[in-house]
Amino acid sequence: MRIHVMTLFPQIFESYINESIMKRASDKGLIDIHLYNIRDFSNNKHKKVDDYPFGGGAGMVMTPQPIYDTYMHIIEKFNIESPKVIYLTPKGKVYKQSMAEKFSVDNDIILLCGHYEGIDQRIIDLIVTHEISIGDYVLTGGELPALILIDSISRLISGVLGQDESFEEESFKDNLLEYPHYTRPREFMGERVPKVLLSGNHKNIDQWRREQSIDITIQKRPDLMKKAALTDKDKKYIQK
Ligand code: ADE
């Protein structure tokens, strides 16, 4: 999968994508991240990329030309037919695991990071296909949100994590939070590992984990329960 990032600050991405799991995924050819500095595409002799807003008001707005030319460069170079262009903005749809799952099967996605007060609306109208927010708070730019998308999407690509099953059971699967984990020692500061996990009985362990997932979700994120994919057995457990 190729991930193209249009940004004024490509260096923000460089250290993150060259470490640990992301680096290994690139080395194995599973993900291919291309960074484009929007400023390099500015036709302005001073490489200006922003200007005052028409109608007045605070802050600067990113001008359309450098963004549009960066976009054209990407789609022409890689021959991308129906480009998915994701603009990171607090005005977007709130990002969810299910969206990461959908993006993870695409060949190319293009991430557009805004700065200053935002970008010229005509860019959104002309090239953006998805507007995504990572939560109800405002950041100084789209770079951190873009990294969050890159990380959450990359780890879903087959072969990126050690074993494929690493994300078979994790939070948000079936819209439930994940069960708690324990490792050695069996007792720590007087606290014991739940007996069932030491029993070797995998049917009981699976059942206990499922029940823990349900309990934790009800406790911490009751809003998720409305969408949770519950089996008849789960429903019976909740009624108890
Ligand atoms: N840019 C600034 N704030 C943002 C947010 N919450 N999500 C996505 N992009 C942003």
With beta carbons less than 8 A apart as the criterion, state whether 138 and 90 touch: yes
> Closest Cα to residue 140, out of 230, 5, 9?
9
Fold of 2-154: Alpha/beta knot (3.40.1280)
Predicted local confidence at residue 148, as pLDDT: 98
Distance from the alpha carbon of residue 106 to the mean position of ligand 1, in angstroms: 23
Q: What is the pLDDT of residue 5?
A: 98
What is the percent of the chain with per-residue pLDDT over 70, rounded to a whole number? 99
The ipTM value here is 0.98
Which residue bears the tokens 């994919």? 229
Asked if the domains at 2-154 and 169-239 fall in one CATH topology, the answer is: no
For the chain, which residues make up each domain, given as ranges?
Answer: 2-154, 169-239
* CATH top class, domain 169-239: mainly alpha
Query: And the tokens for 24?
Result: 């290994």
pLDDT mean across residues, the chain:
96
State which ligand 1 atom lies nearest to the alpha carbon of 114.
1
The tokens for 138 are: 């405002």
User: Residues lining ligand 1, judged by CB closer than 6 Å?
Assistant: 88-90, 133-135, 137-139, 142, 145
Residue 171 one-letter amino acid:
S
Q: What is the DSSP letter of 198?
A: G
Ligand 1 pocket test: pick from 5, 137, 138 the residue with the most ligand atoms within 8 Å of its Cβ. Answer: 138
- Judged by average pLDDT, the poorest of 45-49, 97-101, 164-168, 229-233 is 164-168
| Residue 68 reports pLDDT greater than 70 | yes
Query: Which residues belong to the annotated binding site for S-adenosyl-L-methionine?
Result: 114, 134-139
Query: Relative to the CA of 132, which ligand 1 atom is closest?
Result: 8
Q: How far apart are CA 7 and CA 115, in angstroms?
A: 9
The CA-based dihedral angle spanning residues 16, 22, 27, 32, taken in that order and rounded to the nearest 10 degrees = -90
Rounded to whole angstroms, how far apart are CA atoms 153 and 147? Answer: 10
Question: 146: CA distance to ligand 1 center in Å?
Answer: 9
pLDDT for residue 163: 72
Please tell me the predicted confidence (pLDDT) of residue 29.
96
